[in-house]
Amino acid sequence: MKEKLWKYWEDYPYSGLIELNRNKLGYISPHNVGYGLFRHAVKHILNTVPKDLRVNALEVFINKDIDKVNKWYKDSKEKEWGKRYGKKNKIDNNRSYYLVGWSDLPVKERSTFTYK
């Protein structure tokens, strides 16, 4: 099953960045990669993987607990940062400075992951 799904995950431009920043259990959450990148990754899976394989892809590449993924995805749409951060879910302001591998990406190729 994972072999079928791997091609969809490899098409995601930030899959390498996420692989470097997984937690010790091997999953990602908005707490370790930021809400913007988390939402971007889930959105990529929802838009590219066929409907019958989406749940399996989320369990394999994002988090085993689908209820948490749904909750965090919903939170990522509504999340606003405090006074320090002027924009919603902008990875450059809240998480990028400590993501492993973020500084290795060329500046012009980095997305800001800003959502409205």
Would you say residue 116 lies in a domain?
A: no
- Domain with 39, as residue range(s), is 2-109
- 115 domain-assigned: no
As a whole number of angstroms, the distance between CA 2 and CA 61 comes to: 9
The pTM assigned to this predicted structure is: 0.76
In a domain, 86, yes or no: yes
Distance CA 10, CA 73 (A): 21
Which of 114, 115, 93, 101 lies closest to 13, judged by CA?
A: 101
Phi and psi torsions of 99, nearest 5°: -70, 130
Q: How many domains does the chain have?
A: 1
Residue 114 resides in a domain: no
pLDDT of residue 82: 44
Please indicate, yes or no, if residue 31 is contained in any of the structural domains.
yes
Residue 17 counted as domain residue: yes
Mean pLDDT by 10 residues, the chain (116 residues): 85 88 86 82 92 93 92 76 47 56 72 53
- Is residue 40 assigned to a domain? yes
Residue 54 inside a domain? The answer is yes
Cα radius of gyration rounded to whole Å, the chain:
14
